[in-house]
């Protein structure tokens, strides 16, 4: 690493940006009858997750206030801004891909304003925003018809914005919704079903490959644009070096990480995963032709969302064979004694995940280009940290970001092909888990005061980092 006094030089082309998603910021302003996403359905069925009455309806009102937000992004100096297009709002008719001109114009304007202000847009085609009606009618991503509709939607998006957007992603964390719904059964429709979970995983991996194919057919690859997927690999540590714990971690990794990393980057599923699916009778429906498409259409790069480590050990409970198969047949989670915690989110803070994942990308995934698409710290009641100038003094966030970027730069010095860091989040926003309870933003959204925006101390720190390209150590 290049050091200047007690600072590390950040490479000039290393992205320093921030992310949000459509549903978590836009609010329902302008939303039409029938344009609910799965997340809206989820919220309607779990009102308790609204925080003090604030939820996705108002969100941060980004839909109306994006110009003000882009001005703040410019002030901070973000080189890149990632958000999604809300599939459920981009169309008025999902079967025939009829575009909602109001929403599409808003996206047009947003992209233009970002570019005019020197902020590169990164666009994700789905950040949990599958239309609710497709979930109810066809079972969501369990259905290959929904996959076809996703392609119709994507085609319209490419036609409309392909001339300007250079960073495209199919999904954000494609494993998450079905994990909450079919493995954890904590979300509507609350059904534990590992086969359905696998089918969703497969259909989304196939959808990524089909979108990559479409991207090439539309010749977007010849415009300097790239297409990828944003994954949330769970950086997994076994409790001990004992063979049973190592095996638990290996299987955990197959089910939760390699299930997307391998088809997206290598174009095929690991043999061990095929064997496990076979053994437990959870193999998805596929055709050889589809597997060929996956093989021929791997992504250009990947975004990785890394927040905390996952620690597993071999399952200690005796499995009740009458319960349908669940991957936890093989593992259970454990908490490392003395770990450093973010108590607000219940997540361990362990910045070494950055370095460890980076080395894995280098050694196991052909050193494909990648970047951190999300990493950040959610904290409750941040207004208690306001100083006399009314600015939230979020030193804990500064330490968090610095420690994580440090580990990335260490990996880059060791040959990792990591191209940047996108903080979650540009501003406070609605979490699918708990609305506005935990705040992640560089920018405070003051809900009680007309959702006014105000930079936090971390925003000024990030601004200085972007300008100086020198990280304190």
- Toward ligand BG6, which CB reaches closer, 88 or 305? 305
- Toward ligand BG6, which CB reaches closer, 267 or 309? 309
Report in angstroms how near the CB of residue 211 gets to ligand BG6 at its nearest: 19
- Toward ligand BG6, which CB reaches closer, 8 or 235? 235
Burial class, 387, CB count within 10 angstroms (exposed 0-12 / middle 13-18 / buried 19+)? exposed
Residues 6+ apart with CB under 8 A from 190: 181
| Contact with ligand BG6 (CB under 6 A) among 26, 61, 129, 173 | 173
| Contact with ligand BG6 (CB under 6 A) among 424, 426, 436, 462 | 424
Write out the binding residues for ligand BG6, residues 205-264 only, by CB under 6 A: 232
Query: For residue 153, which phi and psi values (nearest 5 degrees)?
Result: -60, -45
Q: Does residue 86 touch ligand BG6 according to CB under 6 A?
A: no
Query: For residue 353, which phi and psi values (nearest 5 degrees)?
Result: -55, -30
- Whole-Å CA distances, 383 to 25, 344, 388, 392: 20, 14, 12, 6
Report in angstroms how near the CB of residue 386 gets to ligand BG6 at its nearest: 22
Q: What whole-number distance in Å separates Cα of residue 43 and Cα of residue 48?
A: 8
Q: Does residue 433 touch ligand BG6 according to CB under 6 A?
A: yes
Question: Can you read off the two tokens belonging to residue 108?
Answer: 């047009």
**Cβ atoms of 294 and 304 closer than 8 Å:** no
**Secondary structure percentages of the chain, helix, strand, coil, to 5:** 45, 20, 35
Q: Does residue 431 touch ligand BG6 according to CB under 6 A?
A: yes
Bond preceding residue 431 cis, omega within 30 of 0: no
Residues with catalytic function? 173, 374
Report in angstroms how near the CB of residue 135 gets to ligand BG6 at its nearest: 18
Question: Can you read off the two tokens belonging to residue 206?
Answer: 């196939």
- Toward ligand BG6, which CB reaches closer, 60 or 172? 172
Give the residue among 348, 449, 365 at the shortest CA–CA distance from 400.
Answer: 348
Report in angstroms how near the CB of residue 3 gets to ligand BG6 at its nearest: 32
| Contact with ligand BG6 (CB under 6 A) among 378, 409, 412, 458 | 378
Write out the binding residues for ligand BG6, residues 25-84 only, by CB under 6 A: none
Give the residue among 394, 375, 397 at the shortest CA–CA distance from 383.
Answer: 394
Q: Does residue 400 touch ligand BG6 according to CB under 6 A?
A: no
Report in angstroms how near the CB of residue 83 gets to ligand BG6 at its nearest: 11
User: Using CB under 6 A as the criterion, which residues of the chain lie in contact with ligand BG6 when the complex forms?
Assistant: 21, 24, 172-173, 232, 305, 345, 374, 378, 424, 431, 433, 438
């Amino acid at each position: 690493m290049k050091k200047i006094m007690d600072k590390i030089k950040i490479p000039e082309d290393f992205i320093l940006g921030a992310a949000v998603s459509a549903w978590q910021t836009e609010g329902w302003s302008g939303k039409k009858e029938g344009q609910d996403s799965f997340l809206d359905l989820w919220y309607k069925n779990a009102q308790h997750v609204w925080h003090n009455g604030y939820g996705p309806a108002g969100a941060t009102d980004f839909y109306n206030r994006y110009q003000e937000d882009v001005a703040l992004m410019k002030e901070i100096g973000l080189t890149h801004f990632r958000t999604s297009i809300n599939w459920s709002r981009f169309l008025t008719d999902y079967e025939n891909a009829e575009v909602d001109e109001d929403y599409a114009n808003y996206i047009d304007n947003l992209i233009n304003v970002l570019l005019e202000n020197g902020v590169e847009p990164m666009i994700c085609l789905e950040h949990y925003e599958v239309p609710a009606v497709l979930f109810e009618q066809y079972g969501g991503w369990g259905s290959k018809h929904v996959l076809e509709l996703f392609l119709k939607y994507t085609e319209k998006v490419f036609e409309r914005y392909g001339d300007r957007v250079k960073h495209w992603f199919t999904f954000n964390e494609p494993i998450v919704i079905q994990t909450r719904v079919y493995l954890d059964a904590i979300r509507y429709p609350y059904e534990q079903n590992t086969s359905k979970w696998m089918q969703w995983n497969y259909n989304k991996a196939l959808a990524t490959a089909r979108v990559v194919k479409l991207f090439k057919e539309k010749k977007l690859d010849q415009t300097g644009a790239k297409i990828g997927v944003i994954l949330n690999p769970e950086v997994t540590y076994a409790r001990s070096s004992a063979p049973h714990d190592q095996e638990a971690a290996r299987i955990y990794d197959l089910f939760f990480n390699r299930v997307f990393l391998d088809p997206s980057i290598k174009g095929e599923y690991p043999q061990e995963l095929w064997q496990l699916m076979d053994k437990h009778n959870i193999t998805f429906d596929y055709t050889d032709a589809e597997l060929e498409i996956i093989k021929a259409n791997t992504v250009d790069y990947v975004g990785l969302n890394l927040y905390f480590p996952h620690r597993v050990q071999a399952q200690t409970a005796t499995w009740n064979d009458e319960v349908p198969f669940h991957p936890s047949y093989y593992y259970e989670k454990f908490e490392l004694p003395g770990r450093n915690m973010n108590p607000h989110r219940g997540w361990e803070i362990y910045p070494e995940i950055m370095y460890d994942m980076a080395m894995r990308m280098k050694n196991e995934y052909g050193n494909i280009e990648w970047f951190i698409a999300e990493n950040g710290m959610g904290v409750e009641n941040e207004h208690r940290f306001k100083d006399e100038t009314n600015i939230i003094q979020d030193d804990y966030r500064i330490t968090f970001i610095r420690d994580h970027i440090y580990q990335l730069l260490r990996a880059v010095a060791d040959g990792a092909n990591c191209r940047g860091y996108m903080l979650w989040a540009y501003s406070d926003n609605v979490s699918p888990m708990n609305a506005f309870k935990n705040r992640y933003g560089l920018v405070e959204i003051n809900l009680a005061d007309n959702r006014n925006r105000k930079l936090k101390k971390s925003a000024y720190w990030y601004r200085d980092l972007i300008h100086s390209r020198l990280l304190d150590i």
